Structure 1
Amino acid sequence: MTDSYAKALTERIAKSMLAVPKSADVLAPEVLGAAVGELINEIAELRARIEALEGKQ
């Protein structure tokens, strides 16, 4: 994992986590599931972008 990849991943995850409501509702399975799904999508998107950039080098 490159430093830029790790930094970008950390920033995207932090932003996604900030978007999660800060209440008791956050413990609801559907809310947790949606948050985890969003994080997985963010990671997949970052991975694809980085692989595309590395392929251009």
Structure 2
Amino acid sequence: MTRNAPDPAADNDPRPHPGLPRWAKLLVAGAAIAVVVLVVVMLLVGGEHGPGMHG
């Protein structure tokens, strides 16, 4: 009636997790580059910001 605990050393799935697909890595890298470019452009352009800009 007693069950033995599963052996944590037992490997039920010998296949390693493949990780992110290549297209997902490229998408994340492209998004990160786009964010960095936008921040750099915003810092370089500067200018008047705020409510007075629209008046």
- What's the TM-score, normalizing by structure 2? 0.49
- What's the TM-score, normalizing by structure 1? 0.47
Higher helix residue share:
1
Considering Cα pairs closer than 8 Å and 6+ residues apart, tell me whether 1 or 2 has the greater RCO. 1
Q: Which has the larger radius of gyration?
A: 2
